[in-house]
Each structure stands twice: as C-alpha cells, then as structure tokens.
Amino acid sequence: MTLPRLAARLIPVLLMAVLAGCALPVPTPEPAPLPPISPEVQAKAERAVDQLVSVARRMEPVIEAECRARSRGRNCNYRLVVDDRVDLPPNAFQTEDLRGRPVIGVTLAMIAEVHSADELAFVLGHEAAHHIAGHISSRERDAQEGAQILAKMVRAQGADPRTVAEARKAGAEMGSRLFAKNYELEADRLGTIITWDAGYDPLKRLRFSAVADFSSSSQIL
Ligand SMILES: [Zn+2]
C-alpha cells in the first residue's frame, strides 16, 4: 500500500480546508491563497495525516497476508488513495485500477472525522475485505443476471425494444442491490479479523459501520 509523496504533502493543506469548514478556491491562472488556518486546525490536520500514514503502514502487511491466504492469483499489492474533493462526505471505497491493482480510497472528510486509529483501521480493513472476497465481480454478476431476468420477462410479454432496454437497466439495479447487504456483512466480518490481527480494536468501528460503503463497483482510474 503506498501513499504517493505528492499526495502526502497535499493532504495536510486540503485537510485544513475540510477541518476549517471552507471550500478550496476554483483553480485559476492566479489562484487565490487559501484562507488563513488557525494553529489549532493546522495541528489537527497534521495529526490526521500522521494517523492515516501510521494506520496504513500497520494494516498493509496484514491485509496483504489475508489477501494471499484467501485468494489465488489475485493482485494483493494494494494502493491507498485519498479523494481530495473537499465537498465529499466521510466515505471510503475499493476498486481496481486499469492494471488490476486493488485500490482502497478514503475521502478527506473521512480522514478528518475519524475519532481514532481503530476506526480508520476498520475502514481500511472493511474495504480490503470487499476486494479479498471478490465483491466487485459478484455485484457485476448480480447486475447482469438481474438485467437478463427482467428483460426476458418483459420480452415474453411482448414489450417493445425500448421497454426491454428500460427493464434491463432496472433489473441490473435490482440485481446489484439484491445481495449488497450480505456483502457488507461479509466485509464487516473479514474486516474485523484484519483489524484485530493488525492490533487495533474493531469494536470501535461502530460509528462508521452505517456509512461503510460506499461505491465498491466504481472505477476511479
Ligand atoms: Zn462495504
């Protein structure tokens, strides 16, 4: 799991904006300077970044070991990214880049609002568990099956091509949601194991269990 150097340097600045409750200026040829940040907010932002780096380093070997133990031939070289859009809520996600490398992402608000390293560790463990369990492909398969079933049903009733297309779209949506709760519970279970094995307390995750997840099928790269 790597946190690019440039991102590591930018995150404190962006976090300050989040913690200060303000929006970053829209990029212009001569961008306006960031509003002044109080020493207290700056210190909080620096602590949040230190915590992210520390937790990521400690979780990395455990996540990779769990990935290699539970999956065959999968890419277990995780990459951690930070979504630096300041208007996003506390959130996290997992996906794969175009080369199939697993990616775990967190928003700035998530980094800023977690109360402890234990919470942040569980968020990373939960997202890694989605990847280890193959939930992206599972949800894609669910969506395809849902689309086929609903399209077949309306086609049997003599529906026109436009209605069939709409049914396919609705079926995909229904299919992708059908087992979503099961996947969340599975990710919670495995995420709890990973978090514990890394030396964190998974019981302190509860505050974020409701927001966990996220957009596990999204592509960010
Ligand atoms: Zn999830």
Write the pLDDT tens digit of every residue in 121-153. Answer: 999 999 999 999 999 889 999 999 999 999 999
Mean of pLDDT values over 6-33? 62
Ligand 1 centroid – CA 137 distance (Å): 14
pLDDT class of 220 with cuts at 50, 70, 90: very low
* CA 7 / ligand 1 centre spacing (Å): 24
What's the start-to-end Cα distance of the chain, in Å? 16
Ligand 1 centroid–CA 213 distance in Å is 4
Could you give the dihedral angle defined by the CA atoms of residues 198, 60, 183 and 176, in that order, rounded to the nearest 10 degrees?
A: 160
Cα(185) to ligand 1 centroid in Å equals 8
More confident residue, 208 or 203: 203
Report CA dihedral (32, 34, 82, 172) to the nearest 10 degrees: -60
Q: Is the C-alpha dihedral spanning 159, 161, 167, 172 positive or negative?
A: positive
Q: What is the pTM assigned to this prediction?
A: 0.77
Q: Which of 68, 89, 69 is nearest to 18 (CA)?
A: 89
Q: Out of 26-35, 154-163, 197-206, which region has the weakest mean confidence (pLDDT)?
A: 26-35
pLDDT for position 6: 52
* Residues 25, 173: Cα–Cα separation, whole Å: 36
Convert the pLDDT of each residue in 58-87 to its tens digit. Answer: 999 999 999 999 988 889 999 999 988 888
pLDDT at 84: 84
**pLDDT value at position 45?**
81
Residue 190's pLDDT is 95
User: Cα 51 vs. chain centroid, distance in angstroms?
Assistant: 17
**Ligand 1: centre distance to CA 156 (Å):** 36
Ligand 1 centre and the CA of 187: distance in Å? Answer: 6
Residue 12 has pLDDT above 70, yes or no: no
Structure tokens at 209: 């269990």
Task: Express each pLDDT in 30-53 by its tens digit.
Answer: 666 666 778 887 788 888 889 999
Q: Rounded to whole angstroms, how far apart are CA atoms 40 and 121? A: 25
| Distance between Cα 123 and ligand 1 center (Å) | 9
- Predicted local distance difference test score (pLDDT) of residue 203: 85
Contact criterion met (CB below 8 Å) for 16 and 41: yes
